[in-house]
Amino acid sequence: MRYQVVHVTNYLYEVPATLCHNLMFQVPQDLPFQKVEEYLCEISPKPSFEVQRIDFFGNKYLYFSVARSHKKLTVTSKSTLELSKPAWDSADPSETMPWEQVVEWLHSTEASSEIRQFYLESNHVQLIDGIAEYARQSFTPDRPIMEAMLDLNGRIFKDFAFTPGFTDISTPLEKVFEHKKGVCQDFAHFSLACLRSLGLAARYVSGYIETFPPPGKPKLVGSDASHAWIAVYVPGLDWVEFDATNNLLVSDNHLRVAVGRDFADVTPLKGIVYAGKEQEMKVSVDVQALEEEEEE
Amino acid sequence: MIDSYLIERMFNNEPFLDEMATDQGKISSHWERLAKYYEQLGSEKMGQFHEEVGRQLRENGVTYNVYGDPNGMNRPWILDPVPMVFGGEEWEGIEKGLVQRTNLLNLVLSDLYGAQTLIKEGLIPFELVYNHKGFLRQAHNIKLDGDQQLIQYSSDLARGPDGKMWVLHDRTDAPSGAGYTFENRAAMTRVFPDLIRENHVRKITSYYQTFKNTLGNLTTNNKENPRIVLLSPGPTNETFFEHAYISSFMGFTLAFGEDLTVSDGYVWLKTIKGLEKVDVLIRRVDDVFCDPLEFKSDSHLGVVGLMEAVRQKKVLVINPLGSRVLENPGLMAFLPKLSRHLLGEDLIIPSVATWWCGQPRELSYVFEHMESLVIRNIYRGTNHKSVFGGSLSKAELEALKKEIRRSPYLYVGQEMVDFSTTPSWINNKLEARNAVFRSYVVADTENKDYKVMPGGLSRSSPEKGAFLVSNQTGGISKDTWVLGKAKDAVSVAMKPLSIQPLVRNVLPSRTGERLFWLGRYLERSAYTVRLMRMTLLSYNEADEDIHIQENPVLNTLLQTLTSMTGTFPGFSDKSILKNPEPELIALVRDADKSGSLAYSVQCFLANAFAVRDRLSLDTWRILDSISEELGRMRMSVTTVQQAYQSLDSMIVKLMAFYGLNIDNMTREPTWHLLNIGRFIESAVNNCTILKGMLSKSFDTESNKELMEDTLRCNESLVTYRYRYRSNLEMHGVLSLLMLHEDNPRALIFQLLEIDHHLRTLPNQGEGELFGGERKKLLEAITKIRLCDIDRLSEPNAKTKAYQELTAFLDEIVELLHDTSDVVYEKYFSHTGSNYRTMQTSVIPEI
């Protein structure tokens, strides 16, 4: 599948901002099953300084600053991606390694720090009381890891209500767990906490899903803005992605941008702005499936 | 004195070793001279010397702030007149051990932010690093030039029961205390010069010489003339005194986060001249507070974009961001093995025995011995206090175990060390107190080596047998003496200090702003005292039973007081006027009442404290006595009589502050901004008093009295009599207080002074067009020079009020406010540092 993504972020100020510094995580990942054909970024007003870098987790990000007075900041990311089905799509979940063995392997020096770092707690993913017990209902002894994960994914989807407005970035996980309400990032953080409480390595994935589904298929939740889901490390299959918000094993209609321990590592756009009173922020994401000429 | 100490030592059966005496009461050789000296000196003389030491420190303004204590601001620094002493031979071992440890930690640091071979090979557990909040992923693969990444290192050491020194803590982020060490030594040298000379106490100055050379060596930008800035969290930080001290001592520019900005990848200092590039930043701000963009987004102590400037290599940050990962007690458990692996040597100075709970065997050991261990989080922070297992109840122990079980890798158990005692001067005699010694090591990049300060900061506990020693909880500091000559007594040569004159001229805008306010609050306090004094005199003279409203003089004074201090409704409220004493007393002593004298003096002191690196030592002595006076005023003024007395001594001290600055402040922007503030405030107050006192006409007697009081308020009564030799007349009074260019109390004099000081500021050069501030000022000056004093001194026939005068003064005040605004905009506006974070959420709208 080929997609075109247009991600626009607008900041409006009543009193002009005199200076802003920003970090932007919007460059899509280049993966065996996700080829970036084109990526373009437009920033207005033109930054006085910008540099593209790679972070600790391997994500490309952009640092830029605008050092002149402005009432509006617009950041537009345009990308064209070609997606194919990842290897895990055809794997048999019941044939994957029992999850305890994965835990054991992860805790040996055989596993690299690049993978192991994702079983540790992080700011938004705290191992709160009761979370391991919740996870263990799916992760029963000797169960193959992917099978158990699909079960957990389904339970979270069933138990939690997708409720925009109930949570924000600072809502603690306890509250999400208690009320069983939230949006995609809460679903993702909760899934991560479940897995990490068992000692499994799991990371946060930020990206997009298709805005207008093909005829006859339902529109997926979280399609009008950035979306978030998770990836679990499964030996032999690498990072396998699950979307609890839509109860899906991710395949070729999730577009990946960045990975991290949690939201804070990969915030699509964050910044610090001087002066700039009464700000308003608008984000729009448009994901279109492109005609695939070769197949026609 | 010594004998009783020895006897105590022999018969008390303490579990601790003692620095001076053996259990058998024998004095160690390096203490012999000292012991003899104290014996000959006697308690009485020693007590005097103790006081002298305290006085030296107080007069030098050495203070320490204690968090969370309302009276803790600027607590005086306490120094024991008895030092901690190391013999030359033992010191050699300690020095070697410290250099070895610093080398080792440096290698570990380089590896953790680079290849991470030590983790891959299992020599350092992965969880110990990746779980530590001091491991900054943003700093990965960022290096200083050369092999030395750790530039400053400190550790706390104590002598264990086996007679060896042990390392208790490593400090690698922004180690503090070296400045206090210097002040301690300075005070001791003044009080015990002979003792220091006879004992061949080693000098500690080489530490800063090495540090400075290293900075010059490391900078890649502007190598010849680097601009070095010390980044301080600000005047409320516990060790702010030290930041100011080190800055002025080393010729660094003291700055706070709001003084700096990142632009084009460079770090800039906002000065009253404009932006100046910064080459080196010595940070006393903790790691994650340094850049709100990349770390703690709610920090207002840092510089937005600093981390990126570091990546660009446009600025050097010392110690490098990320160094805090070494402040990790869990690491101590692995150092012996690391030392053999990396250096091929055994660790010379052991760390206190440590069990890291991230390993099953160690965890069970800690659980079994919890009551005899100190439990620490691997990350030192305000949320993570160390606890002594033995002090916990059963329930608390269980709760702690549960916490540890949840994230075992975040905890260590450490042995409780019985550190040695050392003689301390307490309750007028020598008593044994447990002591901890903080060492200071600095990289000598020129020789690819580390240098240890031969001395340091020792601290002892005020309580007997107490083992927690920290200045935050009330420790006593001790100078630390290393006896005997250094083997390599060649002192490090200072590089020519070509940077100094340049650095001195830089005035951060925020400092400029503080100086401006210092001047304003100084004058505001002085005018408040003068007007208050007149008011209280008149109040005391008034008949007990008279209605104030029927006493035009007193009433006018009270109304003027309210309007000058801006404390409305004040005496304009009839019920307050009926019983004015509480309001009068509050106006003197109530520091929470904005506009009161106590409030103004407090603001004056706060501004002085924030610019302390710009003020001379003698100035500090005066500030110290103003602060004492303020304390007395706030505590003891309960009657009008007491209020009056405290006013007299306050004004003398305020004027002494100003007088001293006339005498010793260089005529730099520092001085000029102080004076611009001062004269703007005087001129405004002058107008307010003239308007308040003289705008209405009463009976002849009252009018005369009001004119006399107005002159007195401005200390111009004598001048008036001398000049006019006549009765008081409005015309004469106004001429003297407004038009006489040689009378420092005249409005015109004050305005000309503002103009004089403004002219010297940058961007005001000759030939340039007048700036807005000078245009406004010129307008005011011209208005006064051209004013028709006859008309102004004539009351309106109908209303009996001096309407022309009131209108005229209002105009002048308006122009003064405009001038002040433009000065503000021009020189301080870029201190504006209100910023906020913004981030996109992923919350979709459906």
DSSP code at position B403: H
Cβ–Cβ gap B836/A273 under 8 Å: yes
User: Is B773 a member of any domain?
Assistant: yes
Q: Which residues contact A232 (CB under 8 A, 6 or more apart)?
A: A145, A149, A195, A200, A201, A202, A239, A240, A242
Query: Residue B250 is encoded by which pair of tokens?
Result: 């080393």
3-class state of residue B732 by DSSP? helix
Q: Does B292 touch chain A (CB under 8 A)?
A: yes
User: Is B286 a member of any domain?
Assistant: yes
Determine contact, residues A193/A249, Cβ cutoff 8 Å.
Answer: no
Q: Residue B506, exposed/middle/buried by CB under 10 A (0-12, 13-18, 19+)?
A: middle
What is the distance in angstroms between the Cα of B264 and the nearest Cα belonging to chain A? Answer: 5
Number of Cβ within a 10 Å radius of residue B77:
22
Residue that finishes a domain, picked among B439, B471, B501:
B501
Quick one: pLDDT at residue B496?
Answer: 42
Band the pLDDT of B809: cuts 50, 70, 90: very high
B807-836 residues touching A, CB cutoff 8 A: 832-836
| Segment B782-811 mean pLDDT | 93
Question: Mean pLDDT over all residues of chain A?
Answer: 91
Instruction: Provide, as residue numbers in chain A, all residues whose Cβ is less than 8 Å from the Cβ of B841.
Output: 168-169, 185
Residues B621-660 as b or e (16 or more Cβ within 10 Å = b):
bbbbbbbebbeebbeebeebebbbebbeebbebbebbbeb
Among B352, B345, B446, which Cα is nearest to B96's? B345
Residue B502 has pLDDT above 50, yes or no: no
Quick one: pLDDT at residue B74?
Answer: 61
User: Is B657 a member of any domain?
Assistant: yes
Which residues are A40's β-sheet partners?
Answer: A78
B129 and B238 share one domain: yes
Give the Cα separation of A149 and A244 in Å (integer).
10
Nearest CB to B264; choose among A48, A55, A270: A48
Band the pLDDT of B150: cuts 50, 70, 90: very high
What is the SS3 assignment for B636-654? HCCCHHHHHHHHHHHHHHH
In chain B, the residue whose alpha carbon lies closest to the alpha carbon of A127 is B406
Give the Cα separation of B42 and B836 in Å (integer).
62
Which of B457-461, B606-610, B806-810 is most confident?
B806-810
User: Is B25 a member of any domain?
Assistant: no
What is the SS3 assignment for B29-69? HHHHHHHHHHHHHHHHHHHHHHHHHHHHHHHCCCEECCCCC
User: Is B121 a member of any domain?
Assistant: yes
Quick one: pLDDT at residue B845?
Answer: 34
User: Is B118 a member of any domain?
Assistant: yes
Share of chain B above pLDDT 90, in %: 66
In chain A, the residue whose alpha carbon lies closest to the alpha carbon of B296 is A264
| Segment B574-603 mean pLDDT | 93
B535 and B486 share one domain: no
Residue of higher predicted confidence among B631 and A221: B631
B525 and B630 share one domain: yes
Quick one: pLDDT at residue B494?
Answer: 44
Correct CATH for A2-83+267-295 of 3.30.930.20, 3.30.70.270, 2.60.40.2250, 3.30.420.40: 2.60.40.2250
User: Is B689 a member of any domain?
Assistant: yes
Residue B757 has pLDDT above 80, yes or no: yes
Residue of higher predicted confidence among A230 and B500: A230
Residue B843 has pLDDT above 50, yes or no: no
Cβ–Cβ gap A268/B840 under 8 Å: yes
Band the pLDDT of B385: cuts 50, 70, 90: confident
Band the pLDDT of B833: cuts 50, 70, 90: low
Determine contact, residues B622/B653, Cβ cutoff 8 Å.
Answer: yes
Q: What is the pLDDT of residues B256-277, one digit of tens each?
A: 998 999 998 999 999 988 889 9
Q: Tokens 């094993």 correspond to what residue?
A: A249
Among A58, A167, A63, A33, which Cα is nearest to A118's? A58
Band the pLDDT of B503: cuts 50, 70, 90: very low
Quick one: pLDDT at residue B501?
Answer: 40
Instruction: Provide, as residue numbers in chain B, all residues whose Cβ is less than 8 Å from the Cβ of A65.
Output: 262-263, 305
What is the distance in angstroms between the Cα of B702 and the nearest Cα belonging to chain A? Answer: 53
Quick one: pLDDT at residue A174?
Answer: 94
Cβ–Cβ gap A272/B836 under 8 Å: yes
Quick one: pLDDT at residue B69?
Answer: 43
Quick one: pLDDT at residue B505?
Answer: 60
Of the ranges A119-128, B384-393, B525-534, which one carries the lowest mean pLDDT score? Answer: B384-393
B168 and B216 share one domain: yes
| Segment B750-777 mean pLDDT | 80
Q: What is the ipTM of this complex?
A: 0.93
- Mutation target to probe the B interface, by most B beta carbons within 10 A, among A185, A243, A272 is A272
Instruction: Provide, as residue numbers in chain A, all residues whose Cβ is less than 8 Å from the Cβ of B126.
Output: 109, 113, 116-117
| Segment B659-683 mean pLDDT | 91
B661 and B673 share one domain: no
Cβ–Cβ gap A49/B406 under 8 Å: no
Quick one: pLDDT at residue B251?
Answer: 86
3-class state of residue B410 by DSSP? helix
Cβ–Cβ gap A56/B138 under 8 Å: yes
Q: What is the pLDDT of residues A222-236, one digit of tens each?
A: 566 789 999 999 999
Residue B71 has pLDDT above 60, yes or no: no
What is the distance in angstroms between the Cα of A271 and the nearest Cα belonging to chain B? Answer: 5
Quick one: pLDDT at residue B704?
Answer: 93
Q: Does B359 touch chain A (CB under 8 A)?
A: no
Instruction: Provide, as residue numbers in chain B, all residues whose Cβ is less than 8 Å from the Cβ of A163.
Output: none
| Segment B91-120 mean pLDDT | 97
Residue A109 has pLDDT above 70, yes or no: yes
Residue that finishes a domain, picked among B601, B633, B665:
B665
Supply the pTM of this predicted model.
0.87
Share of chain B above pLDDT 70, in %: 93
Quick one: pLDDT at residue B484?
Answer: 86
Cβ–Cβ gap B844/A164 under 8 Å: yes
What is the distance in angstroms between the Cα of A263 and the nearest Cα belonging to chain B? Answer: 9
Quote the domain boundaries for residue B255: 56-352+417-501
Question: Mean pLDDT over all residues of chain B?
Answer: 89
Nearest CB to A11; choose among B834, B837, B838: B838
B688 and B767 share one domain: yes
B551 and B618 share one domain: yes
Residue that finishes a domain, picked among B665, B681, B715:
B665
Which residues are B458's β-sheet partners?
Answer: B437, B478
Quick one: pLDDT at residue B763?
Answer: 74
Quick one: pLDDT at residue B70?
Answer: 42
User: Is B236 a member of any domain?
Assistant: yes
What is the distance in angstroms between the Cα of A169 and the nearest Cα belonging to chain B? Answer: 7
What is the distance in angstroms between the Cα of A181 and the nearest Cα belonging to chain B? Answer: 13
B575 and B607 share one domain: yes
Quick one: pLDDT at residue A14?
Answer: 86
3-class state of residue A120 by DSSP? coil
Band the pLDDT of B42: cuts 50, 70, 90: very high
Of the ranges A185-194, B225-234, B241-250, B549-558, which one carries the lowest mean pLDDT score? Answer: B241-250
- Residue extents of the structural domains in chain A: 2-83+267-295, 87-264
Residue of higher predicted confidence among B524 and B468: B524
Give the Cα separation of B29 and B35 in Å (integer).
10
Instruction: Provide, as residue numbers in chain A, all residues whose Cβ is less than 8 Å from the Cβ of B137.
Output: 55-57
What is the distance in angstroms between the Cα of A293 and the nearest Cα belonging to chain B? Answer: 32
Quick one: pLDDT at residue B418?
Answer: 81
Report the top-level CATH class of A87-264. alpha beta
B540 and B468 share one domain: no
| Segment B610-633 mean pLDDT | 86
Among B316, B142, B288, B290, which Cα is nearest to B229's? B316
Of the ranges A159-168, B343-352, B657-666, B761-770, which one carries the lowest mean pLDDT score? Answer: B761-770
Instruction: Provide, as residue numbers in chain A, all residues whose Cβ is less than 8 Å from the Cβ of B264.
Output: 48-49, 67
B153 and B264 share one domain: yes
B117 and B263 share one domain: yes
Q: What is the pLDDT of residues A55-80, one digit of tens each?
A: 999 999 999 999 888 999 999 999 99
| Segment B532-550 mean pLDDT | 87
Number of domains in chain B: 3
Among B364, B404, B355, which Cα is nearest to B384's? B404
B599 and B681 share one domain: no
Residue of higher predicted confidence among B61 and B507: B507
Quick one: pLDDT at residue B725?
Answer: 79
Q: Does B405 touch chain A (CB under 8 A)?
A: no
Give the Cα separation of A225 and B760 in Å (integer).
57
